[in-house]
Structure 1
Amino acid sequence: MYRPPAFREDRLEVLHAFIRAHPLGMLVSAGAGGLMANPIPFLVDEAATEKGLLRAHLAKANDQLAALRQGAEVMVLFQGPDAYVTPSWYASKREHGKVVPTWNYATVHAWGTPRVIDDETWLRGQIGDLTLSREASREHPWGVEDAPADFLAGQIKGIVGLEIPIARIEGKWKVSQNRSAADRQGVVDGLRQEAPEKGDMADLVEQCGDISRD
């Protein structure tokens, strides 16, 4: 991934937190049929290996499974907030006009060699953990044990597990860090006023641009 110094993010704790916040990863593999990609929710176990371990499950009927069983390296892409940035928000547009549009985004890429798991106990633990990670904050969380046992057993027969020890991981936060404080503040104000649904990106520009210190 192209990562100019201003946009690099390599702190493991930050990258792991990003995956927890945006767990739907795009799993990319290469096999006999060429490149294949599927969106799959992941859990990250920070302590399992030096750079962490990704855990997931997928349908046995998924065509990608054949490539995963070959044990070749795969890539998982986690995408966070993104937003179009118009030059009209920049203070520098009014000063000299030498500005162009851009797109802000945050993303994490992870690589590793997958291990396919055909173990019912592991799968029960995986779906329980994944469910808990999404349900725990709800007032009345749904638990795997709420489903009838025979129904659950049938569902588990249709899936396989996946572990990917992370061999390499990198992040990119392209959130206007290369702009002046006045331009960054313009981006924050513009997003909040014209695209309130992009408030998460406005928050990132504030946090990573460190507007208050310029």
Structure 2
Amino acid sequence: MYCPDPFAETHPEILRALIQRYPLATLVSVGVNGLEANHIPLYLVPGEGPQLVLQGHVARANPLWREVLSNSEVLAIFQGPQHYISPSWYATKAETGKVVPTWNYAVVHAHGPLHVRDDPAWVRQQMVALTAQQENGFTMPWQVDDAPRDFTERLIQQVVGIEIPISRWMGKWKVSQNQPVGNRDSVVAHLEQQKQPDSEAMAEYVLVGLKGGKRDHP
């Protein structure tokens, strides 16, 4: 991924937070038919050890787990907030007119080898962990054990677990850092006026950058 230094995000806690909030990954692999892309929620296993690990599962009918080339890396792309930025939002438009549209976004790319975990007990614990993460904060969080055991066991037989030890990862936070403060102020104001989830999240990313603080997830 092309990533100029001003947009590079290297803080592990920031990268982790984005993955946890936006776990649906675009998983890019090389198989017998060349490049493939699957869209799979992946769970970042807690811990601060030297080897971070992503876990997930795919349908048994999905050829990914059979066809991914041995010892080849896969790429998991996690997409955070994104938003179109109109040049009309910039304060400098009235001063010089030298402004153009752009797109703000935050993403994490994680690389690593794909390991198959064709083990029902492993798959169940992975489902339990991912479900607990996503249900956290709900008034009445759903748990895997809320469903009949024989029902979930049949479903688990239809999927295969996958695990990706992360060999390297990087983040790109393109959130108006290359604009003067006046333009960033006006971008925040216009994003907040949109009153949409992604616009509000992006306004927070730009605002944190304006304050000069450590970028964190809203």
Q: TM-score, normalised by structure 2?
A: 0.92
Which position in structure 1 is the counterpart of 2:62? Answer: 62
**8 Å contact kept, 1:29–1:67:** no
Shift of 1:158: 0.6
Partner of 2:147: 147
- Name the % identity: 45
Equivalent in the alignment of 1:110: 110
3-state SS, counterpart of residue 100 of structure 2 = coil
Task: For residue 27 of structure 2, give the secondary structure of its aligned residue in structure 1.
Answer: strand
Partner letter of residue 165 of structure 2? P
The alignment's TM-score, normalised by the length of structure 1, stands at 0.94
Which ranges in structure 1 are unaligned for 5 or more consecutive residues? none
Post-superposition offset of 1:209: 3.0
Is there any run of 5+ residues in structure 2 with no aligned partner, and where? 214-218
2:134 is aligned with 1:162? no
Distance in structure 2 (CA, Å) of the matches to 1:143 and 1:66? 30
Change in CA separation of 1:51 and 1:87 when aligned onto 2, cut-off 3 Å:
farther
Q: What SS does structure 1 have at the residue aligned with 2:94?
A: helix
- C-alpha deviations, 1:92-129, integer Å up to 9, x for none? 11111111110000000000001100112111111111
**Is the Cα contact below 8 Å between 2:32 and 2:69 reproduced in 1?**
no
With over 3 angstroms needed to count, the CA separation of the structure-2 counterparts of 1:29 and 1:93, relative to structure 1, is same
RMSD: 1.6
Q: Following the alignment from structure 2 to structure 1, what is the Cα–Cα distance between the partners of residues 51 and 176? A: 28
Q: How many residues align?
A: 211
Instruction: Say if 2:115 and 2:162, in contact at 8 Å, map to a contact too.
Output: yes
- 1:63, 1:156 → 2: CA distance? 17
* C-alpha distance in structure 1 between counterparts of 2:146 and 2:103, whole Å: 43
1:189–1:48 distance in 2 versus 1, CA, 3 Å: closer
Q: Report deviation, 1:66.
A: 2.1
Residue type at the aligned position of 2:180: S
